[in-house]
Amino acid sequence: MITQRTRVKWISVVALLALFAVACGGDETAETQATAAPTTTAAPTTTAAPTTTEAEMTETTAAPTTTAAPTTTAAPAPAEPTDIRLRLSWIADPGFMGLYEAVEQGFFDDENINVTIEHGGPNVPNSTQVVAGGAADIGVTDPFSLALAMSEGADFVVFGVRMQSDPTGIGSLCDNPINSPADIAGKKIAGGTTDGFLIDALLTANGLEPGTYELIPAGWDMSPVVDGTVDGMLIWVNSHPLPLNAQGICNVSWTFSEMGLPAYQDLFFTTTDFLANNREAIVGFLRANIRGWEYAFNDPAHAIDLVMNTWGGVDLGLVLEDQFPIHEAQIPLMTSPLTDEKGLFWFDLDQIQNIQNGYVITATGLESIPDAADVYDISILESAYEGCGSSLLDC
């Protein structure tokens, strides 16, 4: 039998067991808490970047302004070439070989010039008439024809002289020679239809009566002299006698200069109006022509081939072998101490004035002619040679 004392005793035991269980449970909880994965601390909050005002953004972050590339102006179209119509004084021969080389080598193209060449001849109008009539822009003539044309109202300017000494003369056979102006009287003289005044000038310059001969129109070769049709012929002494020499035909020739009528020859001229409106083209024409002559002097075989096969020498009956001595004979006529110093085509105004005063007036019968400085414009030569010394070929 369970007594009250025993009941109390058991209650005490149960209470102790309960306390023990709670104590054990508390240790287990503490242990669980101690071994649990540690809690990760949140990353610290980052302070926001300070706000930039709109004005500041505009001032500090705007891209720099780029200046637009300059507009490129299109290159101007090349100027149209200047057309120049050239009237020569004679047929194609070595006297124009430098001009032919200027065409062949493109020297006129370099000057933006388009040249049309028309040859002259023994029985055609003088180039002074052709230029004065407006059918050509530049001509080649002698000082006597020039003076006569100007006395009739032509307004010309000379800008270059090819020959420093005139090769014009009279040729004849040794068995019927004309050795002086006095021998002309009573003779038949072959020449161009406009050559009479030159023979008259020669006679007048020597105090002889003009017109005491018979002028017979003839071509360019000396066959009328050889066959006896005429006694003498107006010639260029550097060319006409050569075929006769080659055939062994004895002949004599004298230049007008040697007989008392010296002059320049092959004057290149234009009108004052054409020069005023085309000065740059005239300078370029002269420069190209001079370059062509320098080229021809350096390579005469090539230049003579042009004479024969490009410009009609073969068709005219020229003999190739004759052209080389013709060229050799013209070199001393084209050169002088003046051209050695200044270059081809140069002229001396004082010498021209002396020729005009002493011979041109006599030859033409004119009372007066313009001063040389009013007709011969040396400034064209000065412009053509500017900065180049006495040679233009490689300038």
**pLDDT tens per residue, range 226-239:** 999 999 999 989 88
E strands along 167-286, which residues?
168-173, 188-191, 214-217, 232-236, 251-255, 265-271
Domain membership of residue 117 (yes or no) is: yes
Region 297-311: mean pLDDT is: 98
pLDDT over 60 at 253, yes or no: yes
Query: What's the pTM?
Result: 0.74
Q: What are the beta bridge partners of residue 140?
A: 268
Q: Once rounded to an integer, what is the mean pLDDT over residues 100-129? A: 95
Quick one: pLDDT band at residue 249, thresholds 50, 70, 90? very high
Q: Indicate if 137 and 281 belong to the same structural domain.
A: yes
Whether 133 and 213 share a structural domain: no
**Number of domains observed in the structure of the chain:** 2
Q: What is the CATH number of the domain that holds 226?
A: 3.40.190.10
- 31 band by pLDDT with thresholds 50, 70 and 90: very low
Q: Give 119: exposed, middle or buried? Use CB within 10 Å, 0-12, 13-18, 19+.
A: middle
Could you tell me if 177 and 229 lie in one domain?
A: yes
Would you say residue 335 lies in a domain? yes
* Measured CA distances, 328 to 33, 99, 229 (Å): 131, 17, 30
Looking at residue 48, its pLDDT comes to 42
Summarize the confidence of residues 13-34 as an average pLDDT: 36
Please give the C-alpha separations between residue 262 and each of 185, 227, 250, 258, 289, in angstroms, as whole numbers. Answer: 21, 30, 26, 7, 25
Instruction: Taking residues 147-157, report their average pLDDT.
Output: 92
Nearest Cα neighbor of 264 from 392, 118, 377, 143 is: 143
- Whether the per-residue pLDDT at 335 is higher than 80: the answer is yes
The model's confidence at residue 24, banded by pLDDT at 50, 70 and 90, is very low
Q: Please report the pLDDT score of residue 5 as a whole number.
A: 39
Q: Are residues 268 and 377 in the same domain?
A: yes
Cα–Cα distance measured from residue 212 to residue 110, given in angstroms and rounded to the nearest whole number: 51
Task: Rounding to the nearest 10 degrees, give the CA dihedral for residues 372, 378, 379, 382.
Answer: -170
Q: How confident is the model at residue 356 (pLDDT cuts 50, 70, 90)?
A: confident
Asked if residues 295 and 393 have their Cβ atoms less than 8 Å apart, the reply is yes
Q: What is the pLDDT of residue 361?
A: 80
Domain assignment of residue 216, yes or no: yes
**Phi, psi for residue 297 in degrees, rounded to 5:** -65, -35
147 and 273: one domain?
yes
**Mean pLDDT lowest for which of 94-108, 189-203, 208-222?**
189-203
**Pair 286, 348 in one domain:** yes
Tokens of 142: 């002698």
pLDDT over threshold 60, residue 393: yes
Beta-bridge mates of residue 259: none
Domain presence at residue 331: yes
Residue 9 in this model has a pLDDT that exceeds 80: no
My answer on whether 160 and 224 are in the same domain is no
- Is 292 a domain residue? yes
Is it the case that residue 101 has pLDDT exceeding 50?
A: yes
Pair (195, 331) in one structural domain: no
Residue 37 lies in a domain: no
- 272 and 344 fall within a common domain: yes
CA torsion sign, 329 to 334 to 336 to 339? negative
pLDDT at residue 263, as a whole number: 86
Token pair in block for residue 3:
């007594």
> What pLDDT does residue 69 have?
52
| Domain final residue pick, 255, 284, 301 | 255
| Among candidate residues 255, 287, 305, the one where a domain is terminated | 255
Res. 262 pLDDT band, cuts 50 70 90 = confident
Residue that terminates a domain, selected from 224, 255, 286:
255
Domain that holds residue 318: 82-164+264-385
Q: Report pLDDT for 367.
A: 80
What token pair was written down for 31?
Answer: 């242990």
Nearest partner of 334 among 163, 140, 160, 166, judged by Cα: 163
pLDDT band at 327 (very low <50, low <70, confident <90, very high): very high
Mean per-residue pLDDT for 351-366? Answer: 79
Which segment, 14-18, 263-267, 277-281, is predicted with the most confidence on average?
Answer: 277-281
pLDDT value at residue 54? 42
Q: Are residues 225 and 289 in the same domain?
A: no
> Are both 159 and 200 inside the same structural domain?
no
For the cut 60, the answer to whether the pLDDT of residue 61 exceeds it is no
Q: Length of the chain in residues, anyone?
A: 395
Q: From residue 81, how far is each of 71, 74, 78, 111, 361 by CA, in Å?
A: 30, 21, 9, 8, 40
Q: Is the pLDDT of residue 77 over 50?
A: yes
If phi > 0 it is left, if psi is from -120 to 50 it is alpha, else beta; for residue 112 that is: left
Q: Judge whether 77 lies within some domain.
A: no
pLDDT band for 74, please (50, 70, 90 cuts): low
Average pLDDT score, the chain? 83
Whether 375 is in a domain gets the answer: yes
Handedness of CA 115, 164, 347, 372 (dihedral sign): negative
Bridge-based pairing of strands 82-87 and 232-236 is unpaired
Mean pLDDT of 100-114: 98
| Confidence (pLDDT) at 75 | 63
| Domain match, 152 and 111 both | yes
Q: What share of the chain is helix, strand, coil (3-state, %, to 5)?
A: 45, 15, 40
